[in-house]
Structure 1
């Protein structure tokens, strides 16, 4: 007579049982997605025909006014002159064509719609590239738009409270926020702790940010780190503050969000459906004192942190 001491042979095993179970599935996770705080903190201005002209006063020092005395009859005469060749900003396009086979969309769209997820992930990648262009574009990006007199170099290697105070000296009219790589913010935090002045925090968008003199330090991974060095920017934002503004084209065909459009291009003979995804944007610095940069900020001399969106 044969006996079985292994009770698992008389019950359904886990592996076999899973064949009848429905797994709960997530949407695709894309590790390159970041919060993109910069695009949320900028004021966005709609432009006509993709052109934004920044008019400037060119005789600032010659505008005369006076406080007259009671017996004084003569008033100064003056006028305000404008730059005859103002700078014009043109919108820059970030675009791609998404291809997906109709068979895939037809057969494999439950529980998650394949076309919807493909579009979502592609749009997220385009928006990541948008933030990189706002910082690194050689024509209009923040790093290329800093005036010479608004540039500083750190004296101590790692960013210190003194360095950020110097930036605030340059952008003293309603400074909005510092913009820095997360490693630069960590290095600044270490310096503050070493000096016994830990920076306070502030809550924005449901997240915590450290501050200096009440101005938040906003992280972005789009500022390059090369040879262990990076930069820290300080911005004033808003059109009324004569600061920095983002630009977008309104009223696009297939508009999904400001400046972003998705257009169906049709299905070819191979049953491939194509979608054109385009985002048009730019950035303008209205006055030179709205932007300053701290150069040669040391974060980690042993590693590089290249950006993926240049």
Structure 2
């Protein structure tokens, strides 16, 4: 007889897996971020998609004097308004999600295919929304900073002096700094090099660096170009004449403020379609609500360059 070798003494892992159920996660998408800017803005509902910002014209001309306790007449004055105030119109972000009914019918356990497709599409739209709030050439923060509110670094990484200059520009109740995560890292290295490591604060269950008590919020939507990024200092809220987000309330199929999902039907190829729409904009109510630092270098090797070690 031929010896066939020893027989296995127990069931192997590979065979056992044939009878086991794997625990499955919902789809993970690396591009999803915390979107802190959206959480930190005050959002204002807009009727008919139009938001008009009325401003005082020549506020320095309002004549106010103290009573001199004599019979001389006090000056008369009035407050004039701009004749053509800026109007912000809500911008739409649309996409159509297509799901074959065969897929949703057969493969929706343990996770509903339509629900997951909609969840990921909505996440992608909200990521795009934050990018537009920062970078839109029409209403974005960077494009609408007044020239007098801009600060240019003298070169090298962002420094405490740079952020102090920003605070001097937007000193009325500043809420937070906003920059790319690489900008925060460069600022932290520069503070450590100078012996003034910035303290941290806890917001939304996360830790943030601060400067002068003002949190520095990260967003990967702030551009990094040629090794340089920008810092924004922002005051928020209508009551503080700050920055406000704008959205359309009461949409049909509303999933969250300004965002709706509408079922468009099933075509002859058994494709179910869903229209996902987001309506939003942003308004800077007064010029001094925002300050902008430009040209902050994020290359970590500057820490070792002698010309930056003055």
TM-score (norm 1): 0.94
Partner-residue secondary structure (3-state), 1:168: helix
Which residue is 1:80 aligned to?
79
Equivalences, count = 301
Q: Is the Cα contact below 8 Å between 2:157 and 2:299 reproduced in 1?
A: no
Extract unaligned runs of 5+ from structure 2.
302-310
Give, in angstroms, the shift of residue 140 of structure 1: 0.5
- Equivalent positions of 1:56-205 (< 5 A) are 56-205=55-204
Q: Is the Cα contact below 8 Å between 1:228 and 1:301 reproduced in 2?
A: no
Indicate how the Cα distance of structure 1 residues 244 and 154 shifts in structure 2: closer, same or farther if over 3 A, else same.
Answer: same
Which residue is 1:307 aligned to?
none
Indicate how the Cα distance of structure 1 residues 167 and 6 shifts in structure 2: closer, same or farther if over 3 A, else same.
Answer: farther
Which residue is 1:305 aligned to?
none
Give, in angstroms, the shift of residue 49 of structure 1: 0.7
Which residue is 1:249 aligned to?
248
Q: Is the Cα contact below 8 Å between 2:186 and 2:300 reproduced in 1?
A: no
- Equivalent positions of 1:225-244 (< 5 A) are 225-244=224-243
Indicate how the Cα distance of structure 1 residues 159 and 58 shifts in structure 2: closer, same or farther if over 3 A, else same.
Answer: same
Which residue is 2:216 aligned to?
217
Q: Is the Cα contact below 8 Å between 2:155 and 2:295 reproduced in 1?
A: no
Q: Is the Cα contact below 8 Å between 1:227 and 1:301 reproduced in 2?
A: no
- Equivalent positions of 1:11-90 (< 5 A) are 11-90=10-89
Q: Is the Cα contact below 8 Å between 1:48 and 1:249 reproduced in 2?
A: yes
Give, in angstroms, the shift of residue 66 of structure 1: 1.4
How far apart in 1 are the matches of 2:247 and 2:71? Answer: 52
Which residue is 2:308 aligned to?
none
How far apart in 2 are the matches of 1:214 and 1:6? Answer: 72
Partner-residue secondary structure (3-state), 1:162: helix
Partner-residue secondary structure (3-state), 2:70: coil
Extract unaligned runs of 5+ from structure 1.
303-310
Partner-residue secondary structure (3-state), 2:142: coil
